[in-house]
Amino acid sequence: MYPRAPAPNLAPPGAGAPNDPEPKSAPYNDFSLAYGLYLPAAMMNMKSIAIGAALLTTLGVGCSGEDNSGPLGNIDSIVILQRPARNDTGDIFQYTSYVAGARLVKLSPPTAAGTVTVLCCDQAGPDFANIDISGYDISFDASEIVFSGKLSDNDNYGLFRLTLADGTVKQLSTDPGRDYVMPVYLPGNKIFFTTNSVVSNTTTDPNPLQHRDEYERGTTSQMGTINIDGSGEALGPRNLSHRALPSLASDGRIIFTNWDHLGPENAGHLMFMQSDMTDLREAFGKEGSGVSNSTLKAREIAPGRFIAIATDRDRTLQAGALIDVRLGMTSTDSDGNLRADTAMSEAHATSVVLTPDVPLDRTPSADTIGRYYDAFPLDAKESPQLLVSWADGPVESSTLDAAGVNANFGIYEYDSVTGERHPIFDDPNMWDIFARPLVARDAPPVTNSQIDQTLGASQAEIGAMNVYDSTLHTFTPGEVFGVRVMEGFSSEEGFPEMFGTTMFEGHAGLGVARVAADGSWLAKVPANVPLHLQTVDVYGMSLFNEPVWFSARPGETRVCGGCHEDRAATTVIQPGNTDAAQVGPTDAMSMVPRATRMTTVADTTDANLIKTDGSLDAAYLPAGIEKIVGVSWGSADPTTGGTGSVQQVFNDHCVSCHGADNRAGVAPYTITNPLTMESVTWTFRLDGAPIPAALQALNTSPGMTPQSWSASYYSVAGPDMEAVERNNLVISGNFKVYMNPEDAAHSILVQTVNPTVLFPAPCDASSGASCQRAFTTTPHQQESTVTALGGYTELTPTEFYKLILAADMGVNYYARENNPGSTAY
């Protein structure tokens, strides 16, 4: 979106800063561009745009190179990024693709009859002869451009500033071993970017490795800022997966796509952050607001309103349908401009699909329908005029590769009233993308959050004023004992490509913050670390699981109104402080180095870590509970069996009946492939041996190969049910999945053993005490069928909690405690 503004200032360098040092609020009411009858652009000077008869019919093109009455009529020129066509960027978070020969060009006037001028980088000499450019932004005064460029295949993407007056190009001093892409000018002479450079901390994480996305295996891209002179680089808090494709909104915040990957959650959603990379907020895509797996390249049309691309995660070359996202209630001003910034909330967000024929998934798009790579709004009417990049035909990577061609993105003006595309520019050998008017604009305000200097360089503070205030879950008053804070990590720490069969990333429990009488809680946490929250009951079981990772910058205080409260509602703060603030925050390992945020080796198999003598730790929890951080299932090598935190419980209490000999007499289940009639029979067992030879032998007919780690893990986690369903496999017999990821309370195993109360004072039934139990059913240890087989000693509070954590932290096999990468080889 751009308001009417004076012509670009092409003053020579030094004549003034390219960015407004005293940012003003953006004049969104100033949408006074002339919108007379639009006369389609001339075709005569276009480069052989063989769009096909159908499209030409749709366009109803006429011939005029003198148009000045449409949305582009008072725009002198537009900037276009030309990248050599390619077909390796299907994944929406792909940012490293390199093909030599990109350039930035200017089209003046912005019509098919316009003149093309190369802005960069022919003039920069032979060092830039093989450059690829992946993204750019125009400064607020339109005197310069910042772009992400890669000079050779051996290089990484770096940031460059192009001065338009004289064509000089200067590379910023970013880490040459990392990629810096998608730059965006910020008010205050800063540049925002995404990068795979990793934020470090001298105290808690001096030499970290960047997270890898567990699914597409790329080094994740995160956020950062740098001064336009290349100084003052600052890296933001990390997501466990990618953050990508940022743009600046008129309120000064950054909107970007956040890859949310937590177990089954696997989608790209829009989020906001302040320009100082604090205060991350959900914007669009979750809570049923999205229309596709991924929403990307959001760009503001008007306050609270964004044009974006809706598509699948992969195979679509980061292109899809155009959607008009409205984050709040809409209102129209006297000029007919529509905004949506009243009561903005993801739960209230809606969207309008502007191109209904374009697939929202990865289905190959049809001829004349194609897909859109990006869009820039030219006005803010209810049905806006857009400057778009569009390619015809099946924009889908396998279809294109099979035909031996690439998608051909060209620049068009899109009339969302009529659905017509008016061709402006197309170079058949290039992707012509990210077209933008070369005009000055007003800078939005600098936005930031309050930083608590007392938290220092390593800590952040999180919390809520009332956890019972939630749009996602209804809690029974008084049932929430605390909030469990968990850290996430991925295979960069030395793990194999997965943590178990449940697709959850690595977890470490950093602590439980007690919820005060008024529903408030606070915790100090390590900054820049992906975190995940659960409200827990007095048994330590999750009552509700927040399904995303989030993080905070050093010194940032992120205190929400509730537990995913209604963001559009007014949060009422009672006079005075919250109870949690008066008590002070729980320290959730905020100053503990990453490498030691784990249960010690000695404690891993200790069944009595949690003290039952009434002693408390620093967080007013039972003493010793802080020693249980990660929950390893077995040994570091699952194919050889072995003992970890969970297996210790099974070994000491369960295997006498639930071993390989199945003394308990649990009935088996059988999985059968009805096509081949292959079958495998499995009987519940809790020993830590590697899977039996009989099952391994099935690898010779591997359709039935269980993705097993150890006998107990396979028994408890179960096979992947999607795999069973999609293969039309038939399960017969006594089939159960005994642990549900992130949901101990509804896990059969946890229900069966029936935990004793843990908070605030643990009750130890193993010592004979009569304890309050989580479920009304008879505890397994007291069942007559169990005692008839000789019974077992009841689990200690430590052992109950380890099983609960194993479930609530994703039913993973691996944790830091059994990380194979921690061993020297």
Q: Does 118 bind other proteins (CB under 8 A)?
A: no
Our CB check for other proteins shows the closer of 330 and 696 to be 696
Residues near other proteins (CB under 8 A), total: 102
Burial string for 707-725 (b: 16+ CB within 10 Å, else e) reads ebbbbbbbbbbbbeeeeee
State how far the alpha carbon of 311 is from the alpha carbons of 94, 304, 530, in Å: 14, 21, 26
Say what angle helices 797-808 and 645-653 make with each other, to 10 degrees: 130
Contact set for other proteins, span 550-609 (CB under 8 A): none
Q: How far is the CB of 300 from other proteins (least distance, A)?
A: 25
Cis peptide before 121 (omega within 30 of 0): yes
Our CB check for other proteins shows the closer of 366 and 581 to be 366
State how far the alpha carbon of 806 is from the alpha carbons of 307, 534, 811, in Å: 42, 14, 5
Q: How far is the CB of 395 from other proteins (least distance, A)?
A: 10
Contact set for other proteins, span 89-108 (CB under 8 A): 89-91
> 3-state class of 810 per DSSP?
coil
Q: How far is the CB of 84 from other proteins (least distance, A)?
A: 14
Q: Does 122 bind other proteins (CB under 8 A)?
A: no
Contact set for other proteins, span 518-537 (CB under 8 A): none
Q: How far is the CB of 43 from other proteins (least distance, A)?
A: 13
Asked whether the beta carbons of 136 and 104 are under 8 A apart, the reply is yes
Q: 470 CB contacts (<8 Å, ≥6 apart)?
A: 544, 562, 563, 564, 565
Our CB check for other proteins shows the closer of 74 and 707 to be 707
Cis peptide before 84 (omega within 30 of 0): no
Q: Does 479 bind other proteins (CB under 8 A)?
A: no
Q: Does 201 bind other proteins (CB under 8 A)?
A: no
Contact set for other proteins, span 639-658 (CB under 8 A): 639
Distance CA 165, CA 144 (A): 8
DSSP H/E element including 160: strand 158-163
Distance CA 232, CA 735 (A): 58
Alpha-carbon 604 to chain mean position: 32
Tell me the H-state helices in 140-280.
none
Q: Does 677 bind other proteins (CB under 8 A)?
A: no
Q: Which of 503, 628, 806, 815 binds other proteins (CB under 8 A)?
A: 503
Q: Which stretch binds other proteins (CB under 8 A): 69-77, 264-272, 623-631, 781-789?
A: 264-272
Q: Which stretch binds other proteins (CB under 8 A): 56-64, 81-89, 412-420, 581-589?
A: 81-89
Q: 1 CB contacts (<8 Å, ≥6 apart)?
A: 250, 299, 300, 301, 302, 376, 377, 380
Contact set for other proteins, span 302-361 (CB under 8 A): 312-315, 359-361
Contact set for other proteins, span 400-459 (CB under 8 A): 400-405, 408, 410, 426, 428
Distance CA 729, CA 674 (A): 7
Contact set for other proteins, span 700-739 (CB under 8 A): 701-709, 719-720, 722-724, 726-727, 729
* Interface map 130-169 toward other proteins (x if CB under 8 A): ---------------------xx-xx--------------
**Cα angle 477-478-481, degrees, rounded to a multiple of 5:** 135
Our CB check for other proteins shows the closer of 404 and 477 to be 404
Asked whether the beta carbons of 444 and 250 are under 8 A apart, the reply is yes
Our CB check for other proteins shows the closer of 275 and 812 to be 812
Asked whether the beta carbons of 495 and 506 are under 8 A apart, the reply is yes
Q: Which of 39, 43, 49, 325 binds other proteins (CB under 8 A)?
A: 49
Our CB check for other proteins shows the closer of 508 and 522 to be 508
Q: Does 288 bind other proteins (CB under 8 A)?
A: no
Beginning with the edge strand found earlier in the chain, give each strand of the sheet holding 679-682 in spatial order: 679-682, 669-672, 730-733
Our CB check for other proteins shows the closer of 262 and 462 to be 262
Q: Which of 45, 57, 117, 207 binds other proteins (CB under 8 A)?
A: 207
Q: Which of 149, 187, 394, 797 binds other proteins (CB under 8 A)?
A: 394
DSSP H/E element including 283: strand 281-284
Q: How far is the CB of 816 from other proteins (least distance, A)?
A: 12
Q: How far is the CB of 329 from other proteins (least distance, A)?
A: 28
Alpha-carbon 566 to chain mean position: 21
Q: Which stretch binds other proteins (CB under 8 A): 259-267, 440-448, 505-513, 523-531?
A: 259-267
Our CB check for other proteins shows the closer of 24 and 217 to be 217
State how far the alpha carbon of 344 is from the alpha carbons of 102, 348, 349, 530, 740, in Å: 39, 7, 7, 25, 34
Q: How many CB atoms lie within 10 A of CB 635?
A: 18
Q: How far is the CB of 292 from other proteins (least distance, A)?
A: 6
- With 0-12 / 13-18 / 19 or more C-beta atoms within 10 angstroms meaning exposed / middle / buried, residue 631 is buried
Our CB check for other proteins shows the closer of 602 and 693 to be 693
Our CB check for other proteins shows the closer of 287 and 783 to be 287
Distance CA 388, CA 110 (A): 13
Beginning with the edge strand found earlier in the chain, give each strand of the sheet holding 542-545 in spatial order: 506-514, 482-489, 531-536, 542-545
Q: Which two tokens stand for residue 619?
A: 């967080």
Element counts in the chain: helices (H) and strands (E):
12, 37
Tell me the H-state helices in 163-262.
none
Q: Does 173 bind other proteins (CB under 8 A)?
A: yes
Q: Which stretch binds other proteins (CB under 8 A): 362-370, 473-481, 762-770, 781-789?
A: 362-370
Our CB check for other proteins shows the closer of 398 and 574 to be 398
Our CB check for other proteins shows the closer of 176 and 419 to be 176
Q: How many CB atoms lie within 10 A of CB 656?
A: 16
Q: Which stretch binds other proteins (CB under 8 A): 172-180, 465-473, 548-556, 578-586?
A: 172-180
Q: Which of 175, 335, 420, 617 binds other proteins (CB under 8 A)?
A: 175
Q: Does 266 bind other proteins (CB under 8 A)?
A: yes
Q: How far is the CB of 352 from other proteins (least distance, A)?
A: 19
Q: Does 60 bind other proteins (CB under 8 A)?
A: no
Q: Does 363 bind other proteins (CB under 8 A)?
A: yes
Q: Which stretch binds other proteins (CB under 8 A): 430-438, 445-453, 490-498, 744-752?
A: 490-498
Q: Which of 17, 209, 451, 568 binds other proteins (CB under 8 A)?
A: 209
Our CB check for other proteins shows the closer of 418 and 676 to be 676
